[in-house]
Structure 1
Amino acid sequence: MTKQETLLEFPCEFPIKAFGKHAGDFEEHIYTLIKQHVPELERSAITARDSRGGKYLAVTANITARSQAQLDAIYGDLSDDDSVLMAL
C-alpha cells in the first residue's frame, strides 16, 4: 500500500463548509456530525451564515485536521447526509 500524496501537512488548520436548507437544527446537526471525527471540536469553532434569501445556511467548522483519512471520513459523512446539499 502506498501513501497518498497530499499538499497538506498534518496537523493543520482546515475549514470545512457544509451547505443545506435553513431548517431547524442544521447548524447543530453539522456540529454533531463533525464532532464524531474531531472529538476536541469546540462549539465556538462553528459559524453559520444565511443565504441572501434566507432559504439556505452555510456552516463552517474550523478544525485541526490530523490526517487525510480523517478529512476523507468527514467529507464522506457529509456527502452521505441527506440534509447536506454541498460540502467544501
Structure 2
Amino acid sequence: MKTKLNELLEFPCSFTYKIMGEAKPELVDEVVGVVQKHAPGDYTPTIKPSSKGNYHSISITINATHIDQVETLYKELGDIDIVRMVL
C-alpha cells in the first residue's frame, strides 16, 4: 500500500528536514538560504558532525503551509552541490 505524503499531513504543520552534506562552512548558509526562499522565518538549525568529521547533519524545522512547499524544498535542498541526502 502506497501512502502519499499529503495524505499523512494536515496543513499548516511543523515539518523537519534532515540534510546531510559535506562538512564545509557554507553548508548551513546554503541550506538556510534555500529554506528562506520558500518558508521565510528565523531559523536555528541543529548541526551534528559525523564520526570522522567529513559530513554534517543539519536538522531544520519549518512551518509548512502546503504540500507543494514541502516537495519543492526537498528538491531544491537536494540540488545544493555539497548536499548528499535530504530526509
Q: For residue 53 of structure 1, what is the amino acid of its counterpart?
A: K
- For 1:52, the equivalent position in structure 2 comes to 51
- For 1:43, the equivalent position in structure 2 comes to 43
Q: Report the aligned-residue RMSD.
A: 1.4
Is this contact kept in 1: 2:6–2:67, CA < 8 A? no
User: 1 CA distance for matches of 2:70 and 2:51?
Assistant: 29
User: 1 CA distance for matches of 2:36 and 2:83?
Assistant: 16
Following superposition, the deviation at residue 77 of structure 1 comes to: 0.4
**Are 2:13 and 1:12 equivalent residues in the alignment?**
yes
Matched residue count: 83
User: 1 CA distance for matches of 2:39 and 2:61?
Assistant: 11
Is this contact kept in 1: 2:30–2:80, CA < 8 A? no
Following superposition, the deviation at residue 65 of structure 1 comes to: 0.7
Equivalent residues in 2 for 1:1-88, closer than 5 Å: 5-40=6-41, 42-44=42-44, 46-88=45-87
Normalised by the size of structure 1, how large is the TM-score? 0.86
Q: Look up the SS of the partner of 2:21 in the other structure.
A: strand
Normalised by the size of structure 2, how large is the TM-score? 0.87
Following superposition, the deviation at residue 24 of structure 1 comes to: 1.8
Identical-pair percentage: 30
Q: Look up the SS of the partner of 1:17 in the other structure.
A: strand
Following superposition, the deviation at residue 5 of structure 1 comes to: 4.8
Deviation per CA, 1:2-56: give whole Å up to 9, x if none: xx8521000111111111010121111111111111112x132x11110111110
Q: For residue 36 of structure 1, what is the amino acid of its counterpart?
A: K
